[in-house]
Amino acid sequence: MTLSLYHGSVRPMGVRRLSAVIVAGVMALAAVLLAPRPAVADTPWLSVSEDGYASFTVPAADVQANVGQVSQVVIEGNFGPSSAWAEFGLTRRGDVWSGILGPLKPGLYYYQVTGDDTKGLKDPTNGTTVASKPLWSTFLVAGDSARLLADAPEGQGGKVETLAYRVKTEERSALVWTPAGYSAKGGKPYPVLFLQSGTDRSATDWLDLGRAKQILDNLSAQGAVEPMVVVITDGRGPDDDKDLKDLRKAVGDAYHVHRDREHQAIAGVSEGGSQALRAALTGPGQFAYAGSFSGLLTEIAGGGPGPRPNPGVKLVRLYTGNVTDPAYNATVRLTKALDRARVRYEFDGVNPDAGANWTAWQENLIDFVPRLFRKVSDHGPSAGHGPLKGEFTPPAAGTTPTPFVSEGGFVTFETTTDFTNAQHVTVWANTAPGGSWLRIPLSREGDRWRATVGPLDPWFYYYKFIVDRVSVKDASNPTKVTTEPTWSTFLVSGERSRLLSDVPAGQGGKVESLTYRSNVANADRTALVWTPPGYDPNRAQPYPVFYLQHGGGQNYTDWVEMGRAKQILDHESLDGKLVPMVVVMGNGNTSNFNKELLENIVPAARARYNISSDPSQQALAGLSMGGGQTIGVLKAYPGRFAYIAAFSAGFGGGTGVDVAAINSGTKLLRMYVGDVTDFVNPSFMAGLATMDSLGVHYEFDGVTPGPHGWDVWQKNLIDLAPRLFKR
């Protein structure tokens, strides 16, 4: 047998250089999108802000040089719900492909750059490596919950070596971690943990992706674990008693360790977890401690341990992710088998926020290792983990409209049979932090493609399938978006999404179409009008009126179909938060919005509805392009609308602005914008500075978490509507 230092990713090259590019300034981060420039050899493709926003800037020339001409570039990584693998699409701006994703939770992320679905390349500016995945790079988002994943203080870490040994006629190797201060001679021998990978994973993954060295170093430095030796093997074995016996002997010969069962533990991920349970519960007793991380064992193999626990087994602890983890159902079956056999075990509970991935297994290792070779008082599940609730079984293919929303916010997407011969199918949806968009890969199941995603927070979601880079409508979902024919929508119910849900039938307001003649477009056009519950066309006092505009590429239908304006207004009205008002959603796609609004939309609304013409009883707001149009009306006709708001739109320049007229004629000027993932954020902030310098009175709601999208604008309307006509 031979020993050598492991140089894989214990301290990956380039980590310090990566951390050096972390940027704290929100404006500087967003500016990457608005003012891209060609990257030079040493310009990082990735920068990560202190608050967890990952900004990617990939030179188009580098992509072409490596994989040829491409029509799209994505960052593939563990960014999805439950840390699932997902694709984050970049936008071509000038000479770079760029995009900002976040805020990401603290933790380790791994990614690669991919063009046109199949053309992968590694980020050459990130020196981190994943030995088993040559195209992958990693980065760590710091935070208290990820503190054990960071490098231990200098001098306090252990050492990782490679141990070569022979099984029969085959040469094999394992990685061995020894704690700081390990002594090969003298003193008490060390207990041993054998830590296994799954059959499709490498031993090095425990270091590169599982952060096992950092976890063990930090726990050891804190005195949270017994000093031990940890032996890491890959998923090719040992999977029988002979292989395991040879490895144990090799470790015993090379290291100052105990050889008895009482001081030996075994754990593993996926099939490695199943191997660990078999080794502890069947055959001759070899281990006193066993941990199964997303293990796939469903019954007690080899005849089982008998009616009572195997003598000498001190701990069997099971771990599983949520229903997206293939081990979830396996764990349900295994716990029933163990209960029938009266085998004592501990269950860490269902991890609600992770599936079968390294995010979950890092947490499993952190929980498991402090329980070894010592007495512990806590035998229950980890904080926030829940019970098993029976097996998870989505409806059979083709039996239900999609998506199918299960308890807890798990959503199963499924295509029709039209794409049997497709090569790459994803579901594009606003499932990223703040409502940004990710593409979740679907798997082929028979003649359909399917995936279960989640948990998704209660909210309103929209999505489309992307089949071999072509957008496709979910034909099984009857919802529609007029301006985006391939989009479909669904709602995950819950208190957080209550204002976006339908009110009980008959209790809400009404939405009607208003047709009017446009002298700008020289055509008949349409607006949608919401009237409040109990609207009285003959009321003596006319109703206040709120003109609400859409954005570029949208239409008068979008605030109802995508913005959930009816649901928001219905709920806030029934909750007693709104002054009864009429809301007019007009068509802003025009060459002269000021004229369209004042000469066409407003007169048509007044002719049909009992609404006020008093400026103090009129409001105007819009999103993006509609927000810019709103500010344009404010500048051109100050005081015409006493209530003004702009969503994701800046004030612009100050030339010719009648500040006195705006301040005297406007009761409320309220500004909204998304975070750094909203591409207008820099120009918006510049507009606030202009308003400050001019002395314009306004309110700023603060940054709304999320991108230039409906998640942000729905929240903006929820905030704005109750403020209208109360001053």
Residues 323-355 have pLDDT tens digits of 999 999 999 999 999 998 888 899 999 999 999
Query: What pLDDT is recorded for position 641?
Result: 98
Q: Are 716 and 566 in contact (CB under 8 A)?
A: no
Do 15-142 and 404-462+475-493 fold alike per CATH? yes
Question: Quick one: which of 473, 501, 520 has its CA closest to 566?
Answer: 501
Residues 6+ apart with CB under 8 A from 340: none
Q: Are 649 and 623 in contact (CB under 8 A)?
A: yes
Q: With 70 as the cut, is the pLDDT of residue 215 above it?
A: yes
In this predicted model, what pLDDT tens digit does every residue of 459-485 receive, in sequence order? 999 999 999 999 999 999 999 999 999
- Assigned CATH for 404-462+475-493: 2.60.40
Residues 6+ apart with CB under 8 A from 604: 514, 516, 517, 527
What's the average model confidence in pLDDT over 377-406?
92
Q: Token match 């509805």: residue?
A: 609
Structure confidence at residue 12 as a pLDDT band (50, 70, 90): very low
Query: What pLDDT is recorded for position 237?
Result: 52
Q: With 70 as the cut, is the pLDDT of residue 11 above it?
A: no
Q: With 80 as the cut, is the pLDDT of residue 169 above it?
A: no
Query: What pLDDT is recorded for position 159?
Result: 97
Structure confidence at residue 360 as a pLDDT band (50, 70, 90): very high
- Assigned CATH for 15-142: 2.60.40.10
CA dihedral 682, 683, 685, 687 (to 10 degrees): 170
Query: What pLDDT is recorded for position 167?
Result: 78
Residues 360 and 327: their CA atoms lie apart, in Å, by: 12
Question: Quick one: which of 641, 529, 525 has its CA closest to 582?
Answer: 529
Q: With 70 as the cut, is the pLDDT of residue 523 above it?
A: yes
Query: What pLDDT is recorded for position 284?
Result: 59
Q: Report domain extents, the chain.
A: 15-142, 149-371, 404-462+475-493, 499-723
Query: What pLDDT is recorded for position 576?
Result: 97
Q: With 70 as the cut, is the pLDDT of residue 13 above it?
A: no
Q: What amino acid is encoded at 696 in this protein?
A: V
Structure confidence at residue 516 as a pLDDT band (50, 70, 90): very high
Structure confidence at residue 234 as a pLDDT band (50, 70, 90): confident
CATH superfamily for 149-371 is Alpha/Beta hydrolase fold, catalytic domain (3.40.50.1820)
What's the average model confidence in pLDDT over 304-322?
75
Q: What amino acid is encoded at 376 in this protein?
A: V
Helix axes 358-368, 212-221, angle to 10 degrees: 30
What's the average model confidence in pLDDT over 169-177?
89
Q: How many helices (H) and strands (E) does the chain have?
A: 17, 35
Using DSSP's 3-state secondary structure scheme, residue 608 falls into: helix
In this predicted model, what pLDDT tens digit does every residue of 31-65 receive, in sequence order? 333 334 334 446 999 999 999 999 999 999 999 99
Q: Are 377 and 346 in contact (CB under 8 A)?
A: no
Pairing of strands 668-674, 699-704: parallel
Residues 69 and 184: their CA atoms lie apart, in Å, by: 56
Q: Which contacts qualify for 577-580: CB closer than 8 Å, 24 or more apart? A: 577/721, 577/722, 578/532, 578/721, 578/722, 578/724, 579/544, 579/724, 579/725, 579/726, 580/532, 580/534, 580/535, 580/543, 580/544
Residues 30 and 10: their CA atoms lie apart, in Å, by: 32
168 burial class (0-12, 13-18, 19+ CB within 10 angstroms)? exposed
Structure confidence at residue 166 as a pLDDT band (50, 70, 90): confident
Q: Are 465 and 471 in contact (CB under 8 A)?
A: yes
Query: What CATH class does 499-723 carry?
Result: alpha beta
Query: What pLDDT is recorded for position 727?
Result: 86
Q: Are 287 and 279 in contact (CB under 8 A)?
A: yes
Query: What pLDDT is recorded for position 10?
Result: 34
Residues 463 and 431: their CA atoms lie apart, in Å, by: 9
What's the average model confidence in pLDDT over 674-692?
97
Residues 506 and 235: their CA atoms lie apart, in Å, by: 60
Mean pLDDT of the chain: 91
Structure confidence at residue 187 as a pLDDT band (50, 70, 90): confident
What's the average model confidence in pLDDT over 600-626?
98
What's the average model confidence in pLDDT over 694-703?
96
Residues 670 and 698: their CA atoms lie apart, in Å, by: 6
The CA-based angle 10-15-19, given to 5 degrees, is: 145
Count of alpha carbons within 13 Å of 271, Cβ hemisphere only? 13
Q: Is the entire prediction scored with pTM above 0.75? A: yes
Structure confidence at residue 226 as a pLDDT band (50, 70, 90): very high
Structure confidence at residue 310 as a pLDDT band (50, 70, 90): low
Q: With 80 as the cut, is the pLDDT of residue 669 above it?
A: yes
394 burial class (0-12, 13-18, 19+ CB within 10 angstroms)? buried
Residues 241 and 259: their CA atoms lie apart, in Å, by: 15
H-helix or E-strand spanning residue 526: strand 523-531
Query: What pLDDT is recorded for position 659?
Result: 98
Tell me what percent of the residues of the chain surpass a pLDDT of 90.
Answer: 83
User: Cβ of 694: how many Cβ atoms within 10 Å?
Assistant: 14
User: Cβ of 319: how many Cβ atoms within 10 Å?
Assistant: 31
Q: With 50 as the cut, is the pLDDT of residue 15 above it?
A: no
Residues 358 and 606: their CA atoms lie apart, in Å, by: 60
The CA-based angle 681-687-688, given to 5 degrees, is: 90
Query: What pLDDT is recorded for position 627?
Result: 98
Pairing of strands 488-492, 459-467: antiparallel
What's the average model confidence in pLDDT over 370-377?
96
Query: What pLDDT is recorded for position 66?
Result: 95
Q: What amino acid is encoded at 416 in this protein?
A: T
Pairing of strands 159-167, 2-5: antiparallel
Strand ranges for 313-403 from DSSP E: 315-320, 346-350
Pairing of strands 137-141, 91-93: unpaired
Question: Quick one: which of 130, 74, 127, 71 has its CA closest to 98?
Answer: 74
Structure confidence at residue 199 as a pLDDT band (50, 70, 90): confident
Using DSSP's 3-state secondary structure scheme, residue 218 falls into: helix
Residues 180 and 177: their CA atoms lie apart, in Å, by: 10
